[in-house]
Structures are given as structure tokens and as C-alpha cells.
Chain A
Amino acid sequence: MIAPFTIERGPISDRSVILRVRGELDARNAPGVVEACTQVRRDGKSLVVNLAGVSFIASSGIGGLLALVEEFRQGPGTLRLVSISPAVRSVVNLLNIDRFLGIDENEQAALDILKDGTNG
């Protein structure tokens, strides 16, 4: 049975928000993820997206993540992707786009980078 798709809000600070995405990140769910992340950017905060629970990622899911990377590049906040699941890792490697995504080992590593003010 496929786990239902969810976006859960993790700890929120003055400067950053953590979103934990679970389930299959496909065409149906990608716009919702982009909207939730864009809202964080509009609020002027940095964002950590935890992808540990993503069991499958379609092209639309990758496209959504790339759109977010571009949008966050325009500031003011920073985007970090963390705890990338094997399913996401294999597509990221295939497309050879890992160095553009801003990937960290886990939430704490991303928060440390955000605290240092570096964009990685």
C-alpha cells in the first residue's frame, strides 16, 4: 500500500521553516509542494525541505524542486533540501543536478548552514 502524500510542518523559527514531505512526489502533488514552499519564501524566511519520506519522485516532482531552487535564488530566504531518500537520490544523480540543489545530510546540518549565513 502506498503511503498517503503529506506535507508536515516541522520546527519553525523567526528565520526558517522546516517542511517534511512524505509519499510520492508526482504531477498531482508537485504544485502543492511548490505552493507551500513559495509561501515560506513570500514570508521572507529560509526553508529546509526534508525529503526522507519521499518514496518515489516523478519528473514533475524534480521540476517543482528545480523551480523552487530558482525562486529562492532570487532571495530573500535560502532553500536547503535534506535527508534525500534513495528514490530521490537516484533521479538527482541521473540528471546530474545534485550540485544545483543545495543538499544537506540532515535538518540539523541545514540549520547550521542557515545560521552561518552561507548558501552552500
Chain B
Amino acid sequence: MVGVGPAGSEIARIEHSLKSLLELARELSVSLGLHQTADLLLFNLMGQLGTGRAALWLIPEGTSATSIMIRCHGFDRTAAQQAGEAWSHTLREHFERNPVPVSIADLESQLSPSHLELAAQIDVALFAPMLAHSEVHGWLALGPKLGGTGYAEADLQILQAALGIVGVALQNARLHGQMTEAHRQLLASNVHLQEIDGLKSEFLRNVNHELRTPLAVVMATLESVVSAKSGEVRIQSMLAGALECAHHLNELLENLLTYSSAVSARLVIELADENVDELLRAYCDERRPGVTAGLREIACSCEPELPAAHCDRQRLIQILDQLLDNALKFTSSGSHLRLSAAALSVSGERWVQVEFADDGPGIPLERLHSIFNSFEQVDGSQTRVVGGMGMGLALARELAERMGCRLDVRSAVARGTTFTLLIPAGR
């Protein structure tokens, strides 16, 4: 323990700050996601500087959009969110000119009366920029120091040092996430292309069946007319030519049918008892870099002692992919996604219930029944902002049904959407 007295106390404070910065650096060297890093930074600074309030906003990559509140501790959450949105552009402009911590008093001339009212409401004392490679990536708000002493010069230096370390770490994490996600997408698109190839064959087979029925009628009619040998020779000759073409067409269709059947046989379902807890956690870890790239958060929680689920692992992952891709398309930055699993018993039958929930815009009731139809999206207008064929959810339900599972959805506008997948429990 360091000696007593004012000098001793000062040395002890410096020692505490150094230890805190070391803690920050040490933890960042361990692999941490965006949201864990935000928690680490905020708790660390709150503990160093002695304040009970801190929040962090980040700017979505490559955009001029409003900043997203990543974490908030101690502040009134709803008010802080509103305030963050209102201040976004002012703070960004300010920090691009002047990238150092600024007190609310020094910002007063740049904030409108309504902005100042919001600041007073959540009791914010200080803002500080999050920089990486001289670019503003976001900012932090701190509440007043407990004891009302105000932030000293030494506090601001600690703050800048901590934000510098974390800013670069977050930027590296983002770049690493982008790379991991790009790699995953390449692998996934390869699998997807193979799937599309399979679907194409199935489509061909269906078309084939549809074509064969009228063709059979055409051939039978032509055969009966040609074999009757009545009418003009010229017409007879033309009909014989038509019959020959019809036979040729039929042969082509037969070949096509054989080919597509062979290909579609690849779309097999291999059922086994799967550990859903382990599968969902691994799945979240794999998809997290891509999800957090859009400043969304994905969390996973499974009930303890979950029974095994009887399903095809690869197909289950495909279903989750479709649900997640759907959520990424239709929710905005800052949204929260949650994968969870629980055991369920209905009329003596045991199921594993996997839920995938988001807090996005939700789906209007009148559209809810048709979202599993092929080629349909909730926004059917020509000016819609989200691309895609509307095949994802149709494919997800098709795969679920092939595995003996049930995929359903419930949703509330402005509150979010939850997909529920019921998988038979294993033995």
C-alpha cells in the first residue's frame, strides 16, 4: 500500500489510473466483440474517474447517418437515446474540427436550447471523441464526477489515452470483422449457388411435368390424324412433320427430367440429434462480425439442460441464415437480435423451440400471412429500398417442413418480429 498523506494519495491515484489503463490494454488483447469492448471502456472509465454515468455512440461505417448508441450505463436510457440522435450532427462536426474532450458548458454556444434541455435532463457533464487514424468514429458522454469536483486536466488525459487505445482497437476489430464476414459470405455464397442449382433442377422437373401433359395430348391427336391418312397429301405431310417435332420435344423433356431428378436427389435431409445450445452459440459467434458491422447486436441464450433436437444440422443453419439475413435487411443499425432456445411440451410431444427475435420495425398484420410466400416482400412497391427476390423465408419454411419442424412468425409494428422454429426433441 502506498504511503498516506496528500502526496501518497496522489501517487496512489496515479497508480490506480495506470493499473486501469493496463487492464484496458490487457483485456483488448483478448478477442472482444464490439459491445463487450464498449462495456469494458465505459466501466473502466467510470471506475477510474468516479462517475456513475457513461454512454458510447458510434457512427455507422461509411455513412453520414445518425450515430448509434452502443451502450448506456447510469443515464436514463430513453432520454440518452433521444439526446444522442439530436446531438449527432453537432458533435460530429465539432469533433472533426476539434478532437478533444469538451464540457457541456463549452459546447453551449453550438447546441440549440432544446439540445441543452436534453443535456440537462440526462445530466451529462462531458463529451469525448472516439478517434482512430485521425477520423471520428463516435463519442462518449460522461455524467458528473461523484463528489462534484469536476473533471481535472489529469482526468481528461486519462480519458484521451483510454479512448485512443479503444478507438484503434475498435477500428481493428471492425476491419477484422469485415474480413471474417467477407470470408463467410464467400463460403456461404458457394453453398447457396449449389442450392440454387438444386432448386433450378427441381424447377425444371416441375416445368417438365407441366409441359408433358399438353404435349401428350398434342402427340396423341397428331398420331390419330396421321394414322387415319385422310385429307390432302400436303396437310398430311405437314402433320407428320409436326408429329416428328412433338416426339423430339418429348425426348428432350425426358432427358431433362432424368437430369433434374438426379440433381434434386442431392437435396437430402439427414436427421440426427443435435446439441442446439452449442450450435446456436457457435452460429452467433460466426455471424457476429457481420452483424456488428452494421452496429447491430446479436445475443444468444439457451435454457439449461435443453434436450437434443432431431434435425439436419446444415439445414437448420440454412434456416437461421435466412432468418438472420431477413433481420439484417429489415432492421436499422443499433437494433438488437436475440437467438434463444427452450424446451417445450405440447400435448405430450416434446419440442425444442428456437426463437429468433429482433426489435426492428415489425410487420403489419395484413402482410404477416404472406411473408412465407415465394417472391413476396412486405414492401411490394417498386420503390422499396430492400433488394432480394423474397425467396429467403419461403426457402426457410420449406426446409423446416422437410425436417418435420414448424416455422411461424409473430410481429408487432414498431416493436419487432419473432420467428419461432419448433424442432422435434431427440430421444
Interface pair A91/B147, CB less than 8 Å apart: no
A69 CB-CB contact with B under 8 Å: yes
Distance to closest chain B CB from A71 (angstroms): 6
Asked if residues A97 and B9 are in contact (CB atoms below 8 Å), the reply is no
Expressed in whole angstroms, the Cα–Cα distance for A63 and B50 within the complex equals 7
Interchain CB contact (< 8 A) of B146 among A26, A59, A60, A66: A66
Decide: A63 near B16, CB < 8 A? Known: A27-B27, A95-B50.
Answer: no
How many CB-defined contacts (below 8 Å) exist between A and B?
93
Residue of chain B at shortest CB distance from A90: B1
Q: Does A94 contact B (CB under 8 A)?
A: yes
| Residue ID in chain A nearest B48 by CB atoms | A59
Q: Which of B37-45, B216-224, B275-283, B286-294 contacts A (4 or more CB under 8 A)?
A: B37-45
Per-residue interface assignment for chain B, residues 1 to 33, with 1 indicating a CB less than 8 Å from any chain A CB and 0 otherwise: 100000001001100100110011001000000
B47 near A62 with CB under 8 A, answer yes
Q: Are A30 and B43 in contact (CB under 8 A)?
A: yes
Contacts of B54 in A (CB 8 A): 63, 67
A67 lies within 8 A of B46 (CB):
yes
Q: Min CB distance, B25 to chain A, in Å?
A: 11
B76 at the interface (CB under 8 A from A): yes
Shortest C-beta distance, B379 to chain A (Å), equals 35
The SS class assigned to the A binding surface is helix
Query: In the complex, A30→B12 CA distance in Å?
Result: 23
Kindly state whether residue A34 has any CB partner on chain B within 8 Å. yes
Bound CA–CA A120/B169 (angstroms): 41
* Smallest CB separation, B188 vs chain A (Å): 31
Q: Which residues of the partner chain B approach A60 to less than 8 Å between Cβ atoms? A: 23, 40, 43-44, 47
Residues from chain B with Cβ under 8 Å of A70 in the complex: 52-53, 73-75, 143
Contact across chains for A97 and B46 when beta carbons are under 8 A apart = no
Return the chain B residue nearest A66 by Cβ: B52
Report the minimum CB–CB distance from A116 to chain B (whole Å): 24
Indicate whether A59 sits within 8 Å of B16 (C-beta atoms), given known contacts A67-B46, A70-B53: yes
Partner of A97 from the list B16, B50, B53, B74 (CB cut-off 8 Å) is: B50
Nearest Cβ on chain A to B328's Cβ, whole angstroms: 25
For residue B29, give the distance in angstroms from its CB to the closest CB of chain A.
Answer: 12
Fill in one digit per residue for B229-265: 1 if any A CB lies within 8 Å of its CB, else 0.
0000000000000000000000000000000000000
B208 interface contact, C-beta 8 A: no
Q: B51 at the A/B interface (Cβ < 8 Å)?
A: yes
Task: List the B side residues contacting A61 at CB < 8 Å.
Answer: 43, 47
A31 sits at the interface (CB 8 A):
yes
Contacts A60-B47, A63-B45, A64-B43 known; A34 to B73 CB distance under 8 Å? yes
Contact in complex: B20, A100 (CB < 8 Å)? no
Would A26 and B74 count as touching, CB distance under 8 A?
Answer: no
Q: How far is the CA of A66 from the CA of B53 in the complex (A)?
A: 8
Q: Kindly state whether residue B36 has any CB partner on chain A within 8 Å.
A: yes
Contact with B along A48-74 (1 / 0, CB 8 A): 000000000011111110110111001
Q: B23 near A66 (CB under 8 angstroms)?
A: no
Q: How far is the CA of A71 from the CA of B52 in the complex (A)?
A: 9
User: Residues of B within 8 Å of A, CB-based: how many?
Assistant: 32
Cross-chain contact B40 with A27 (CB below 8 angstroms):
yes
> A59 — which chain B residues lie within 8 A by C-beta?
16, 19-20, 23, 43-48
Which residues of the other chain, A, contact B43 by a CB distance below 8 angstroms?
27, 30-31, 34, 59-61, 63-64, 67
Q: With the chains together, A95 CA to B54 CA distance in Å?
A: 17
Task: Report if A28 contacts B (CB, 8 A).
Answer: yes
Q: Is the CB of A30 within 8 A of B20?
A: no
* Contact A94:B74 (CB < 8 A) given known A59-B20, A59-B48, A66-B51: no
Residues in A with CB closer than 8 Å to B24 are 27
Residue A96 lies at the interface, judged by CB distance under 8 Å to chain B: yes
What 0/1 readout, one digit per residue, does chain A (14-51) give for beta carbons within 8 Å of chain B?
A: 00000000000011101100100000000000000000
* Interfacial chain A residues near B47, Cβ < 8 Å: 58-64, 66, 95
Check A100–B76 contact: CB distance below 8 A.
Answer: no
B393-410 CB mask vs A (1 if < 8 Å, else 0) is: 000000000000000000
A24 CB, nearest partner CB in chain B, Å: 11
- Contacts A58-B23, A66-B146: A27 and B44 contacting too (C-beta < 8 A)? yes
A31-B43, A59-B16, A67-B74 given. 10 additional CB < 8 A pairs? Answer: A31-B39, A58-B19, A61-B43, A63-B47, A64-B46, A67-B73, A91-B16, A94-B12, A95-B50, A100-B52
Residues of A within 8 A of B (CB): 26-28, 30-31, 34, 58-64, 66-67, 69-71, 74, 90-91, 94-97, 100
Interchain Cβ contacts under 8 Å between A and B, 8 examples = A59-B46, A63-B54, A64-B46, A66-B146, A67-B43, A67-B52, A94-B13, A95-B50
Which 8 pairs show the lowest CB-CB distances between chains A and B?
Answer: A63-B46, A59-B47, A70-B74, A62-B47, A63-B43, A63-B47, A70-B52, A59-B20
